[in-house]
Structures are given as C-alpha cells and as structure tokens.
C-alpha cells in the first residue's frame, strides 16, 4: 500500500486502513450470506480477488491459483492480461506463486529481484508491464496439518508496491477463499452421495420390477425370481441391476412386438 503513507515508518494512513478493512469486511459478510453458499466456486474466488484489487491501492490485478488439481490452474483472474504470467510459472515449475506454495509463506518482491531464479516469470511479468508482486498461499484445515490448495497472486505495475499491511490483508482474504474451497468440497461430496443414493434406488426399483415380471410370467415366488437373476449375474459376470435392466428392456420389446411373455433369464 504505497498511498497514504505517514512518516518514515511507512505505515498506511488510518483512512486507507479503514477503507481496506471495510472493503474486506463487506466481502466476508457477503461470503457468509445464504446466496453465496449456492454460488460456483469460481464465482466466489473471483469476487474475493476483485475485493483484493479494490482494497489494495497498488493492486492492478489478482489471480487465484488452485493446486489440488492434477496441475496448477488459474481458477479466477480479475485481468486476463496477467494470465500469461501464471502460465509461465506453471510451465517452468517455478515462480513466486509456486514458492509461496512450497514454503507456505507469502512471497513479496519486485519483478527482477530474482532474475536468475525465476527468468520465465520475470520475462512474462515485464511483458505485461508488471513491476511488483505478492503471492499468498491458500491453506485449508488446522494450522499444524493444513492442506495447500492454492495461492492468491497480486500484481502491480508500480515498483515498490505492497507492504506488510497488504500482505496481512491478503492473508485475511486467503482465509475466506480457503473456507470457500472447503465448502465447495463439502457440497461436491454431498452431491456425489445423493447421486449414488439415487442410482442405488433406481437399481433396486429395476431389480424389484424384474422379479415381479418373472413371478407374474412364470408362476414363481419372489425368492426364486431373485435367485434366477443372481444366477445370471454370476454366470455372466454382470452386475445384478444390469441383468434386471436388460430383462426389462427385452420384456418391453417383446410386449411391444406382441410376443407377450418374458423370456427366462439367460
């Protein structure tokens, strides 16, 4: 935060601090709202990134990298012009966002401060007229056993941008982003469980229908009908619900053709 400095200690002015904190607080209040719970993760992360740009006077763009995918991926970005900077780091396997991830600590410096260590990043940043950066890791879980899931990457076209206050502010936003990722995972697990239960109910229904068809057509009881289905499943190495589904499809086809009877399971 290079504007509003007051004295040699280079502390941000109270006006700048108040504005930044009010901006972040409003974003966190929105995140806690009921509507946010149903939003896509990318939408939440983009809103938090935009909040960071609004709260940090020196921030020209913010991207959010996610690391819990097979490869690092930019999940949200406020300005597409900085995406090549992220891509250069992912391709080279090095750069400030990857260092923030590996050390689990914020990385704050000027472009060119580490030319030898991050030449790909430096080249891409200069091409985008970026002069300073701040990368903050996104961690999920308890402090002692936190899981790394991504990073906030803040870019500025001004040299000497960003200070410890900016760093702390982005750490606060990273906590909110981590919570959003945790919620997204919880919703995804819930959705998968519901889908599995729905599939199980459909399968059970089809098996019961197949049993009923066999019982009605061949004068057998439920136990014998089920045993016939199981025998076919074991003999053909086919899941039981697939045997039932095939039999129902065959019965429907024969009925439509006027045959009127269900063949015994094969």
pLDDT digits (tens, 9 = 90+) for 63-72: 999 887 788 9
Could you tell me if residue 100 is inside a domain? yes
Could you tell me if residue 29 is inside a domain? yes
30 and 149 share a domain?
yes
Q: How far apart are the first and last CA of the chain?
A: 76
Could you tell me if residue 9 is inside a domain? yes
Residues of the chain with pLDDT > 70, as a percent, come to 68
198 and 183 share a domain?
no
Q: By residue range, what is the domain housing residue 17?
A: 5-190
* pTM, rounded to two decimals: 0.60
Could you tell me if residue 264 is inside a domain? no
Could you tell me if residue 263 is inside a domain? no
Residue 84 burial (C-beta neighbours within 10 Å; 0-12, 13-18, 19+): middle
35 and 139 share a domain?
yes
Q: Cα dihedral sign for 223, 225, 228, 229?
A: negative
As a whole number of angstroms, the distance between CA 46 and CA 63 comes to 8
Confidence of residue 83 (pLDDT cuts 50, 70, 90): very high
168 and 202 share a domain?
no
Could you tell me if residue 251 is inside a domain? yes
59 and 155 share a domain?
yes
- pLDDT tens profile 5-49: 343 444 455 555 555 555 555 555 554 444 445 567 788 888 889
118 and 237 share a domain?
no
Domain count along the chain:
2
78 and 204 share a domain?
no
239 and 169 share a domain?
no
Instruction: Map 124-137 to HEC letters.
Output: HHHHCCCCEEEEEE
Residues of the chain with pLDDT > 90, as a percent, come to 27
As a whole number of angstroms, the distance between CA 194 and CA 196 comes to 5
127 and 201 share a domain?
no
- pLDDT tens profile 228-264: 888 888 888 888 778 888 878 877 777 666 555 555 4
What is the pLDDT at residue 17?
A: 54
183 and 243 share a domain?
no
Q: Which residues contact residue 13 at a Cβ distance below 8 angstroms, ignoring those fewer than 6 apart?
A: 4, 5, 6
Asked whether the beta carbons of 138 and 73 are under 8 A apart, the reply is no
What is the pLDDT at residue 38?
A: 54
What is the pLDDT at residue 229?
A: 80
235 and 111 share a domain?
no
H or E segment to which residue 68 belongs: none
209 and 185 share a domain?
no
CATH assignment of the domain containing 253: 1.10.10.10
What is the pLDDT at residue 169?
A: 86
Whether pLDDT at 182 is above 80: no
H or E segment to which residue 65 belongs: strand 61-66
């Amino acid at each position: 935060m290079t504007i509003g400095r007051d004295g040699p200690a280079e502390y941000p002015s109270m006006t700048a601090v108040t504005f930044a904190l009010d901006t972040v607080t409003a974003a966190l209040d929105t995140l806690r709202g009921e509507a946010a719970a149903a939003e896509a993760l990318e939408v939440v992360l983009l809103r938090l990134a935009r909040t960071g740009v609004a709260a940090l006077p020196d921030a020209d763009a913010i991207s959010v990298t996610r690391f819990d995918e097979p490869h690092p991926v930019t999940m949200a970005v406020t300005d597409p012009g900085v995406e090549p900077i992220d891509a250069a780091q992912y391709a080279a396997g090095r750069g400030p966002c990857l260092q923030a991830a590996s050390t689990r600590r914020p990385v704050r410096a000027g472009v060119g401060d580490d030319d030898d260590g991050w030449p790909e990043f430096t080249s891409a940043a200069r091409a985008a007229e970026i002069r300073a950066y701040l990368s903050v890791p996104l961690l999920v879980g308890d402090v002692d056993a936190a899981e790394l899931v991504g990073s906030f990457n803040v870019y500025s076209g001004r040299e000497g941008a960003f200070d410890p206050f900016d760093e702390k502010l982005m750490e606060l936003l990273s906590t909110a982003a981590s919570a959003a990722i945790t919620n997204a995972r919880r919703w995804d697990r819930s959705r998968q469980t519901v889908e599995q239960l729905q599939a199980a109910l459909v399968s059970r229904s089809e098996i019961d229908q197949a049993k009923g068809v066999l019982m009605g057509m061949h004068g057998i009881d439920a136990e014998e009908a089920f045993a016939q289905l199981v025998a076919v499943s074991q003999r053909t190495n086919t899941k039981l619900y697939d045997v039932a589904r095939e039999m129902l499809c065959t019965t429907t086809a024969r009925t439509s053709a006027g045959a009127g009877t269900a063949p015994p399971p094969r």
